[in-house]
Structure formats: C-alpha cells, structure tokens
Structure 1
C-alpha cells in the first residue's frame, strides 16, 4: 500500500468552508481571505491527495466522490477540534463555558427552557445555544458533535447514544370548551373514531407514538388537519376544528384559563419518557457535566416522575 498523504488542517478548514458555501468567493469572505488564496489552498490540497475534490464546471461547485469522502471526515475532524479547544478553555474557568443543547418541539418549548432558566440563575456566565429541531436532526447533530445533548421524547433505541430518562410526558386529549366532548367526564376509545382530529405532521414523534398506541387498541383516527408543531395544533383545537393530543406540559396555562379542556380517555394512558440523550463516550466539559446532573435534580423537584411504591407521581410544575 502507498503512503497516505498528510492533510493540512488549515487547508481542510478552507475546503470545509467552500463546501458549506458552494462558492470560493463567499467562503473567502467568511474566512477573511482573498478568493485567489482560497482557490490556491484547495488546489494544493487536491495536489497533495492526488485526486480532484471539486467539479468546477457549471453554475455551481459540485463534490467529486473523493470530495464527498473528505468532507464527511472534515466534519468530524473540525468539530472534534472545536470541542477540544472548548474543553481546554472551560477547564481554565469552570464557571464559564458554552452549552449547545437541543430538543424536539415538546421538550424545547415547554420543558427545557425551565431547566435552562434555573441553571442560568446558578451559572449566569454560561453561554447556552439552543436548537429546537426534529428528533432525527438532533440524532445527526449529536453524532457529529455539533450538539452536546438533547431532550427528546422516548424511546430512543440506538446503541450509539447514552440515554437518561428525565421525566414522564403525559399526552392528553384536548378540546375546545364548545366541543361536545367538553361536557363529558371521560371519552371512550370508540368515541374517537368518527370525530375530526388535529395532529402534528406525520414525522412528529408525538403523532407516531399516539397513532401506534391507538392502532394497538384497534382505533384509527380521522385526521382532518396536519400541522407543524404543538402550538399550531392547540390553535386549531381552540377554533373547534377537532380534538387534539398533546403533551400535558404544553397545555398547563390553557387548562387553568379553560381556553382548552383536557378530557381523560377511558382505559388508555398515553405516557412516555422524556430522555436526555448524548453521544456515547462523549467528553463532557465541566459546565456540561454540571448541567447534565442539574437536569435530573430539577426534574425530581419539578417534573412528573414514575410512581414508586406507596407514592403518587408528582404533578408537573411551573417552578424553577
């Protein structure tokens, strides 16, 4: 086998920037370099590797097969470099640091902000970057070391992740006060079949969980609207366009103000765990480790926990 050529980290950073922007000119501007200097470094990298990395003909730059392979490696290498620099910097000053957190819609809008707010009261110098995205996007970014950890609806069944249950997430049926269900103490599963239903988009983990559980009970919902996000579902339900199923954390205020009613479903509990997930064998900076431990402390005090023998589950709380 031939000797593998050494890859210059500076050239790799330039190549990464060019691929991100698909433009030598824009990448040069981002890097505060001239366009000829950027082109020269990419050509030098191609010469060193002995393979073309970019197809330069046509209106847009395109990656060659070698370019795609190098780019995948560059993502991991450069994120590892950033993480190493961040870890060393945070070791110098434990009370300061950066946290890059993620959450799906439910966790990101109704649970994680409470935890972050309480944590920031203790560690005000911590910088927090917060992504609310789909669970699949979060999986990808955690594995790429872009996101430190994320709060998602379980179950996560992937051996590449560390998984820590944080709290219970009770999904509840909601209706407008003018919906005929609002006059009932409970509804049966059969009641749901012929009623208009408003749910999130099909890729939503909440929707997938609800539909799977109801399929197991032999119930198929009559979905009349598919909306992006819990807030949109709540607004449609308020307008009496159908019933919805959302996390109880999402309707704490509305259930108190009675703009929405929560109606129990007979013989059915829709409960899952919210989980804190991260890449296995991940190095946690001091501030990230503090946050990871704080999540569980906060959850025990303020969020719904599984029942223990002789004890009732705690009710969700707004406290922080």
Structure 2
C-alpha cells in the first residue's frame, strides 16, 4: 500500500467539510482538477471508494468515514503542535472552530469580538446552523467548541454552562387577552413555535409536558426572526429567548407576565472528551466562563 500523505488528507478533509470538490478547491485556493486528482490518488491508495453520489450529493462510504476520522486526528495533532510551538515562542496562533445553534448567533459574537482583539493571530472559523446541523457537525467532530442551550445527552461530551438563556412569552403590541396569568390560560390562543428539533422547542415541550399543557393548533416556523415578525403581524403568541428579542426591534410586541416565566436554562459550551482541545480553543473556553 502506498503512503497516505498529509496533503491528501488535507484535501480530503476539505472536500468533506465543504460538501463538494468545487467548494474545496475554493477553500484551498486550488484548481478543481487538482482537487479531483488528489481525491483520485487517495482513493487509489486506500483501494476502496471514499464517496458515493446520493441525489447529486457526496456521501461518505464506510472507508471514507475511517479516512475522514484519520484526517481529523492527524491534521488536528499537526495544528495543535504548531500552536504549542508558536506559544513557546511567544506568538499566539492557531485555528479556532466554533459551531453554534441559530439562537446563539446573538450570544457568541459579543464574546468573540474582544477575544479576537486580544488574540489577533488566531484564525476563527464560525459556523451557525439549526440544531440538527450542529449535532451532525458534533458527531463528525468537525469543530473545537459547540454552543447549545439543550446539548445532546452523550457521555462522550463535556458540557459547561456559561450564560443564562431566558425564554419569555410575547404577544402583539395590541394584544388585549389575558396577562398576569399562567401558560395554560394562554394555550387557547394560537402559538407560533419553532420546529421540534430546536433547543427552544425542546425546553417549551418539557415545560408543557410537566404541566399538562397542550397548544391548540400551533403554527410551526423555523426561524426566530420570522416568529417575531409573525407575532408583530398579529398571527399569534410565541415563546422566544430574550437574546433574540434584544437584537431585533421589539416595538411591535410586548412581553406578557406569565407564571413560571421566564423559563431559565443555560447556554452550554460543548467539547468532545476524547478530542484534545487546542490552545486557541482553551483560551476561548476560558473567555466563555468569564462572561458576566
């Protein structure tokens, strides 16, 4: 068997992470034929197909999964070595990969901004996605730190709370229905809810299950911003994070006084226990824990 080179692994990881040969060629500043050739060489070395085409998309084979895991370990170790050597020389460098669920896109930038100013040589890769997307990235060990309000239950994960996430009940500005009441009283009204996979929806569902509450014909909307706009337009009531409301105009909505609300959970920084965390990720993890 021929040798699997560092460069072949680097190109292969980029194809997987970016989703296509074309996107990988852009990310690596290489021509598309060059990337295709590197993939062909690696496939030849392994002796088995690494991808299959599924509805026009590249899907990893079992051999591809094994090679991708190897690429992560090898390239991750190389990146950590570079960071450690640079740190010994007094220069802070390295790559920091952060993946956050959509609501956390309002939470992390204010923390990330001063961090980047203090560590200007760290290359930050910031990914935002819905819960399913971030869980998929977590399962493929693509990032250093993941931010959830409702992390997956998995013994292989280290979950560290760092900031409160308060959920409040909102209504249109001209809402003249019940206030200073419980959620059961409001459940007769139409509620606008996130999809079942979202962390916000999970927190709401747990509360409703514990208190025997069922919403009457709720409307499912897969965006916090769209929910806020829908409430402003008078389509119904909603339960959103205060962080979402703080970043958008709220002149068209009002927060209702509801028993047990705001519901309080915590934003959590999630890392994979068996993945050795880089110096850059360690520094950002400390920054999260120092948030007031």
Secondary structure, in 3 states, of the residue corresponding to 1:210?
Answer: helix
- Does 2:104 correspond to 1:103? no
- Does 2:120 correspond to 1:124? yes
- CA-based RMSD of the aligned residues comes to 3.4
Aligned match of 1:42:
43
Aligned match of 1:173:
169
CA drift of 1:137 comes to 2.8
Residue 198 of structure 1 contacts residue 242 of structure 1 at CA under 8 Å; is this kept in 2?
Answer: yes
Residue 111 of structure 1 contacts residue 249 of structure 1 at CA under 8 Å; is this kept in 2?
Answer: yes
Aligned match of 1:226:
220
Cα distance in 1 between the residues matched to 2:205 and 2:99:
25
CA drift of 1:250 comes to 1.2
- Does 2:26 correspond to 1:30? no
Residue 103 of structure 1 contacts residue 131 of structure 1 at CA under 8 Å; is this kept in 2?
Answer: yes
Aligned in 2, Cα 1:240/1:284: closer, same or farther, shift over 3 Å?
A: same
Aligned match of 1:154:
150
Aligned match of 2:86:
93
Aligned in 2, Cα 1:251/1:32: closer, same or farther, shift over 3 Å?
A: same
Aligned in 2, Cα 1:89/1:226: closer, same or farther, shift over 3 Å?
A: same
Cα distance in 1 between the residues matched to 2:233 and 2:155:
43
Cα distance in 2 between the residues matched to 1:283 and 1:56:
31
Secondary structure, in 3 states, of the residue corresponding to 1:162?
Answer: strand
Aligned in 2, Cα 1:176/1:167: closer, same or farther, shift over 3 Å?
A: same
TM-score (norm 2): 0.81
TM-score (norm 1): 0.75
Cα distance in 1 between the residues matched to 2:274 and 2:35:
37
Residue 155 of structure 1 contacts residue 273 of structure 1 at CA under 8 Å; is this kept in 2?
Answer: no
- Does 2:115 correspond to 1:114? no
- Does 2:243 correspond to 1:249? yes
Larger radius of gyration: 1
| Partner of residue 74 from structure 1, selected from 67, 73, 81 | 67
CA drift of 1:111 comes to 0.6
Cα distance in 1 between the residues matched to 2:56 and 2:114:
47
Aligned match of 2:279:
286
Where structure 1 has 5 or more consecutive residues not aligned to the other structure, the ranges are: 47-51, 302-320
Where structure 2 has 5 or more consecutive residues not aligned to the other structure, the ranges are: none
Residue 169 of structure 2 contacts residue 261 of structure 2 at CA under 8 Å; is this kept in 1?
Answer: no
CA drift of 1:204 comes to 1.4
CA drift of 1:113 comes to 1.1
Residue 11 of structure 1 contacts residue 42 of structure 1 at CA under 8 Å; is this kept in 2?
Answer: no
CA drift of 1:86 comes to 1.5
- Does 2:218 correspond to 1:207? no
CA deviation vs aligned residue, 1:24-57 (integer Å, no higher than 9, x gap): xx8994362675x8646634542xxxxx537999
